[in-house]
Amino acid sequence: MNRQRTIGTIFLRTLTAIGLLVITFVALIACSGGGDDEEESQMGVLDLQGDVSAAYSSGTFVLWVPEVESLGGAVSIMMADSTSDSQSAAASSSSTSISSSTRGSGSTLASPASMSSSSATTASSSSMSMSAGSMSLQDSIPDGAIVLAEATIEEGRFSLTTEVDEIKPINFSVTDSDRVNSSIRMPLRTRQFVMEPGQLTLTMDKYEEFVVAGGTYNDAVINSWKQSEEYLNALELYQEAIGDSIPSSAQERFENIAATRAQFTQLVRLESEGRQEIALNNPDLLVRRLTLQTTNITTGTWYTETMTYLKENAPNDPWIAKIIERDQEHQARIDERDLIAVGTPILDFEAVSLDGTSMSLSSAHEDAEVVLLDFWASWCGPCRTEFPYLTEAYAKFKDKGFEIVSFTLDDEHEDWTLASEEEEIPWINLGMGSEAEAVMTYKVIGIPYSLLYEVSTGTIVAKNLSGGELEAKLEDLLD
């Protein structure tokens, strides 16, 4: 068995290397064409045959991407390593953007025999329905997601074909489904593979663990580690630990979690090591980029090292260029925020209280001598860790002229209300939203973020005091 797997692994790697060279050559030819015509932008057709019969007997297989702009670009990233910057930029500018070129087009359900779609539609969560054995399209696909193709599952199988304009990560969901064994529940996760031209097969086991075979980039980016003997053995142990039944009690659920934690940690470790090897050493820059795009493991030096390498060697690739632009914008906001320093004047803004009353910062501190402006959110653990210190300082110094004005970045009023009730906030409580005037005025890019200022001078005297630092500062100012 080990010898067979070893031979299979060598054969797979050989085919992968040959396939990468072929697709790279095709991409170079596509780039040299340089036309804007939609037909010329197509790289080929994805022919996907699926067998999900171990998990689903019927339903709809859906390929989709998030609403945010796709930043892929197979041609441009391949060219970045072998052409001038101007040529790469030209290739980059002609690559297709899913959100801009396909939003609003129609997409129809396909028969199980075949399905073809080069258009897309936007999913909506306007209607929702759930039952014990089925789930609607809207329940399992994010609001606003762009559906690229769909196919009906009959007797556990489906067939789907769709045009491929670029090699990129693609998500899939099985909706309106009838499960073969509804008692088995795997941890929720995004199911994703690499969309590329060619004949691919997708198979799924009863735990919904899936493999996409036949694709050059799927083999290089995912199967190279996911189909290794060590990973398959670890996966088998993990699935055995999970079992086939839903825990009947809280105690049984707790015991199952404890039993599976070690196996799950092992799977994450093996994936991280496999992706690290690809991201740092594969000669194909597109493979490196896809490795970053298809993982949730974004910690560790290998991820940051690969990102740095791609920024230096493929800056004109749309996905990399967007990251560079985002980093530059983030740094610009840091620079702007740092201008709001100790000794600079406090800036006024308009906001609303929890009950909807309009209020300005200047009106909130009319009777105070020293004010703490504190930015927070219900979902921010470190912010709420500071609340006991704020409460203690407020109780001790309120009668001496101390006031707190908190501003929440919560976008949902319900979240703001619930957290305020849980923390029993006694001071001025304003909001709300991450794009609000107050957030923009103070260039807030991370929370907790706080400014302590004197009302008489209108100047900031301290920033980001934590723990007992606030109380110590107030003793200097008010005692």
10-37: pLDDT as tens digits: 444 544 444 554 444 444 333 334 444 4
**pLDDT > 70 in the chain, percent:** 71
386-397 per-position pLDDT tens digit = 999 999 999 999
The pLDDT score that the predictor gives to residue 77 is: 44
Sign of CA dihedral 415, 419, 421, 422: positive
Q: Token pair for residue 411?
A: 């976008």
Of 49-53, 114-118, 237-241, 260-264, least confident by mean pLDDT is: 114-118
Q: Token pair for residue 48?
A: 């996907």
pLDDT band at 303 (very low <50, low <70, confident <90, very high): very high
The pLDDT score that the predictor gives to residue 25 is: 42
Residue where the block lists tokens 């609001």: 143
pLDDT band at 297 (very low <50, low <70, confident <90, very high): confident
Mean pLDDT in residue range 117-123: 41
Q: Token pair for residue 216?
A: 């050059």
The pLDDT score that the predictor gives to residue 243 is: 73
Sign of CA dihedral 95, 96, 97, 98: negative
CA atoms within 13 A on the CB side of 155: 2
Contact 115, 159 (CB under 8 A): yes
pLDDT band at 66 (very low <50, low <70, confident <90, very high): confident
224-240 per-position pLDDT tens digit = 999 999 999 999 988 88
429: left (phi over 0), alpha (psi -120 to 50) or beta: beta
Contact 289, 53 (CB under 8 A): no
The pLDDT score that the predictor gives to residue 245 is: 57
Q: What is the rounded distance in angstroms from the CA atom of residue 198 to the CA atom of residue 351?
A: 55
Domains along the chain with CATH numbers: 2-330 (no CATH), 339-478 (3.40.30.10)
Q: What is the rounded distance in angstroms from the CA atom of residue 134 to the CA atom of residue 349?
A: 49
For β-strands 168-179 and 157-164, DSSP reports them as unpaired
3-state secondary structure of 304: helix
Of 20-24, 70-74, 208-212, 354-358, least confident by mean pLDDT is: 70-74
Would you give the distance in Å from CA 111 to the centre of its chain? 32
pLDDT at 324 over 70: yes
The pLDDT score that the predictor gives to residue 300 is: 79
pLDDT at 273 over 90: yes
332: left (phi over 0), alpha (psi -120 to 50) or beta: alpha
The pLDDT score that the predictor gives to residue 253 is: 61
pLDDT at 168 over 90: yes
pTM: 0.60
Mean pLDDT in residue range 249-274: 79
pLDDT at 384 over 70: yes
Contact 311, 291 (CB under 8 A): no
pLDDT at 434 over 70: yes
pLDDT at 125 over 90: no
The pLDDT score that the predictor gives to residue 216 is: 95
Degrees to nearest 5, angle at CA 398 with 393 and 400: 110
Q: Token pair for residue 342?
A: 């100790």
| Helices 301-313, 318-338: inter-axial angle, 10-degree rounding | 110
Where would I find the H helices in 314-380?
318-338, 361-364
pLDDT at 263 over 80: yes
pLDDT at 385 over 70: yes
pLDDT at 138 over 80: no
Mean pLDDT in residue range 281-306: 92
Q: What is the rounded distance in angstroms from the CA atom of residue 215 to the CA atom of residue 226?
A: 14
Of 180-189, 209-218, 339-348, 458-467, least confident by mean pLDDT is: 180-189
The pLDDT score that the predictor gives to residue 298 is: 81
**pLDDT > 90 in the chain, percent:** 59
Q: What is the rounded distance in angstroms from the CA atom of residue 377 to the CA atom of residue 293?
A: 29
Q: Token pair for residue 264?
A: 């799950």
**Residue 349 main-chain phi, psi, to 5 deg:** -160, 165
pLDDT at 88 over 70: no
Mean pLDDT in residue range 372-386: 95
Of 109-123, 236-250, 309-323, 415-429, least confident by mean pLDDT is: 109-123
pLDDT at 116 over 60: no
Q: Mean of the per-residue pLDDT values for the chain?
A: 78
